[in-house]
Amino acid sequence: MQPKKKAAALLLAFVCFLGACTPQPRQEIPVKSGMTFAFDTVIEQTWYGEAGKTAYLDIAKKLGAMESKLSLYRQGSEIDRLNQAAGKEYVPLSEDTFQILKQAKEWSIASGGVFDVTIAPVTTLWGITGEDPKVPGEEELQSALSLVGAEGILLDEATHSAMLAREGMAVDLGGVAKGMLLDQIRGIAQEDGVDSGFVSLGGNILAIGQKPDGKEFVFGLRDPRGDGGEYLGTLSIPGLTMATTGDYERFFEQDGVRYHHVIDPRTGYPAKTDLISLTVISADGGLADYLSTTFFIYGKEVALQYLDEEEFSLIAVDEEKNVYLSPALVPKFTPNEQKTEYTFHLEG
């Protein structure tokens, strides 16, 4: 398994390879572009216009503040304090954290147990996103699984405080936080007067408006079985967000078996799914983030039932290298003709 920062660097190189890292334009239009590292991933911003620099700085400040609140691994963060107080007492939360936690609980319950933000005790055992991943023992895994259940997130609306019902429970908002932050970023950019640009939080992307030359921002759909610079096709997502979950991002091998990072809360093991990649495009960044994980774990049969939805669109890639797109995405997607091993279903 590659180190986290190296994986993030590969992702960034991939985005740049597709032309999303836009160089300084020749026309006299101000542009502010840059990269930072937060939320365990590369964050890239590019904003056009006189307000671009202001938006860039405001967004960077917001992301830094939210990481200090939401990070599972940062000592003293609001989520860390919530986890430390599990089974003991309510913990006051900021408005941002409370609302994200509230929505995460609702989605966790709505998923039927396929997505659950209280999965942290299990993912911590596996350590797949760390430097020393391992297959946990069955006894300790079952013990950790007994602590999983979003119903145990207790919320007090009056005081904006929360508690986890049982000692040992822990919350990890990694499956929704970046997507929900994209919604906040859109608001900041618009309030600052920016109407053209994009931001990438790892696999979560938001595009606003068009490039100064009138062309749409185009992003790549990564080849789940290629290297970081290979893509299945390109896609424009004007005014929308995009989130992708796949079995290729973080993984390790032990005794000849490959274990990826997407844990199924029902079993405690990496999801056994017939999909290798699932992308959701939606105006709602949090919803896209949540659904990309949920549909990936559920698998192809369930995902394909939701191809024709108004609130979101899907791109599903299965083990047999079939690529399925929602009809609404077909006019916006250009397949990579060199990927002859894939079958693109573009009937929409």
In order along its 348 residues, the chain shows pLDDT tens digits of 444 444 444 444 444 434 444 444 445 688 999 998 888 888 999 999 999 999 999 999 999 999 999 998 899 999 999 999 999 999 999 999 999 999 999 999 999 999 999 999 999 998 877 778 888 899 999 999 999 999 999 999 999 999 999 999 999 998 899 999 999 999 999 999 998 999 999 879 999 999 999 999 999 999 999 987 899 999 999 999 999 999 887 767 787 878 788 999 999 999 999 999 999 999 999 999 999 999 999 999 999 999 999 999 999 999 999 999 999 999 999 999 999 999 999 975
Which amino acid is present at 346?
A: L
Structural domain harbouring 135? 71-175
> Of all helices (H) and strands (E), which one includes residue 260?
strand 257-260
Whether 223 is covered by a domain: the verdict is no
Task: Determine contact, residues 291/316, Cβ cutoff 8 Å.
Answer: no
Across the beta sheet with 153-156, the strand order is 91-92, 161-164, 153-156
| CATH number assigned to the domain comprising residue 109 | 1.10.3980.10
Domain count, the chain: 1
Token look-up 């390790």 returns 252
Whether 138 is covered by a domain: the verdict is yes
Q: Say what the pLDDT of residue 3 is.
A: 42
Whether 115 is covered by a domain: the verdict is yes
Token look-up 């549909």 returns 295
Whether 306 is covered by a domain: the verdict is no
Whether 75 is covered by a domain: the verdict is yes
Whether 142 is covered by a domain: the verdict is yes
Task: Determine contact, residues 155/98, Cβ cutoff 8 Å.
Answer: yes
Q: Say what the pLDDT of residue 153 is.
A: 98
Task: Provide φ and ψ at 322, rounded to 5°.
Answer: -90, 140
Whether 118 is covered by a domain: the verdict is yes
Token digits of residue 240: 């929308």
Q: Measure the CA angle with vertex 76, ends 74 and 78; round to 5°.
A: 90
Three-state DSSP state, 42: strand
Token look-up 């993984």 returns 251
Whether 28 is covered by a domain: the verdict is no
**pTM check: above 0.85:** yes
